[in-house]
Amino acid sequence: MARIFVAVDLPEEFRDEVRGIQSRFSGLKLKLVDPELVHVTMKFIGEVKDPMVSEVAEALGEVECKPFDAFIGGVGVFPNPKAPRVVWLGAEGNFEVLHDEVESCLSKFRFKKDRKKFTAHATLARIKFMPSGQREEFLELLDELSDIEIGNMVVDRISLKKSTLTPQGPIYETLHEVMLK
């Protein structure tokens, strides 16, 4: 079995910016995502049998979405600031079109659809519990970082990735890349 997902990787030159933003949260009770692993998820698929991985990779080759310019910036949270669970970096561009194309090309597999409306973002940290004494500092930081600009990038490919969960955090392996056309 393989735990897989489809993603858009952030450019290498954004890693230091991501690290810098994450360092601003250092005193708070968050589980930070390794900056090398921060990406925009197009579709989380989950556990599939190994032979299906190549079928999924082949189906992704049918994605019809032209490369597009994207802007990465602005920090926010899901589901809301009063009960934050995920701290994210915003992603603006043609991500919704790309997401819909990925969903369409993978529809024959009948993978579970996302329950929530797709919102392009890159997860920076997860929050299981935030002590009430940290909430005010956290909300101030969110406000300060709400319009931070990381930069522009060209989205010209998607990656099929395998995620192996370990006690030290996930390990991602790119199994297949599809160039947008």
> How many CA atoms lie within 13 Å of 46's alpha carbon, on the beta-carbon side?
6
Annotated catalytic residue: which of 18, 25, 30, 39? 39
Q: Is 39 a catalytic residue?
A: yes
Sequence-ordered list of residues with C-beta below 8 angstroms from that of 8, at least 6 positions apart, any chain: 39, 40, 42, 70, 91, 95, 98, 155, 157, 158, 159
> How many CA atoms lie within 13 Å of 97's alpha carbon, on the beta-carbon side?
12
Q: Is 121 a catalytic residue?
A: yes
Rounded to whole angstroms, how far apart are CA atoms 100 and 79? 22
Rounded to whole angstroms, how far apart are CA atoms 66 and 11? 18
Annotated catalytic residue: which of 43, 121, 161, 176? 121
Q: Longest C-alpha distance within the chain, in Å? A: 50
Residues assigned a catalytic role: 39, 121
